[in-house]
Structure 1
Amino acid sequence: MVDLKQMLGRFLAIPGVRQALLVGRDGLLIDGMSRDGKEDMEAVGALMTTSFGTAEALGQDIARGSVVGLLIEYEHGLVSVDPLGDFALIVTLSENASNIGRVRHLVKASRNEILEALDIA
């Protein structure tokens, strides 16, 4: 079984990814790694949990179903939020959108491994 730091390190190995976080749906940081440490991981995790909840509410309100991922593009970067079951989210901060396909692929490929490491599979 892989540990969480090792798993998060795989995300940071993708060029342009600056931060990778595992966050509980309650907004509490489970674990995180940062390439440069500029952003407060706990604040990012909490805010992204709130944003994801808002996206879920919108999806229900407009009858589009469950959220499978959330991408927020800013002037100087991209934030990706992906659900890991009912209990956790993985959040990545990237410099730009050029490698978002690699991030999304890694989330999908490692989902079960992460859930097993979290002991919620």
Structure 2
Amino acid sequence: MVDLKQTLSRFLSIPGVRQVILVGREGLMIEGLTRDGKDDMEAVGALMTSGLGTAEALGQEISRGSVVGLLLEYEHGLVSVDPLGDFALIVTLLENASNISRVRHMVRASRNEILEALDIA
């Protein structure tokens, strides 16, 4: 059986990753880990579910296909949102863009393991 906390902890091993959240498409947090307790994981997860829905609607409107990932850049960091099928998404907060490729790779490498743990693979 896959341990979600253990799987998500690999994201925190990437330098610059502050937080990783697994959230259902309805906006409820499934699991989350943080380096510091400053950001409300439940609120971040719920807001990013809404943001992903907006990005998906835009993709349909401009005929660009399905959303593969969403990357938001702010003054003090990045937020990466990656859909995991129709039922969940993973939200990662990073200090800067230096390791975004490692995060994206970790999402791809962990995708099946996470879906298996959610019993939707």
Give the secondary structure class of the aligned counterpart of 2:6: helix
Distance in 2 separating the partners of 1:14 and 1:29: 22
The amino acid across from 1:7 in the alignment is: T
Identify unmatched segments of 5+ residues in structure 2: none
The match for 1:14 is: 14
Give the secondary structure class of the aligned counterpart of 1:98: helix
CA RMSD of aligned residues (A): 0.5
Give the secondary structure class of the aligned counterpart of 1:99: helix
Q: Across the two proteins, how many residue pairs are aligned to each other?
A: 121
* Runs of 4+, deviation exceeding 4 Å: none
* Residues 37-48 of structure 1 mapped to structure 2, 5 A cutoff: 37-48=37-48
Distance in 2 separating the partners of 1:8 and 1:32: 7
The match for 2:5 is: 5
1:107 and 2:74 matched: no
Distance in 2 separating the partners of 1:78 and 1:60: 24
Distance in 1 separating the partners of 2:22 and 2:90: 5
Q: Give 1:77 deviation, angstroms.
A: 0.3
Distance in 1 separating the partners of 2:14 and 2:3: 18
Give the secondary structure class of the aligned counterpart of 1:33: strand
The match for 2:72 is: 72
Q: Give 1:2 deviation, angstroms.
A: 2.5
- TM-score normalised per structure 2: 0.99
Give the secondary structure class of the aligned counterpart of 2:115: helix
Give CA-to-partner distance per residue, 1:14-51, whole Å, 9 cap, x none: 00000000000000000000001110000000000000
The match for 2:54 is: 54
1:36 and 2:36 matched: yes
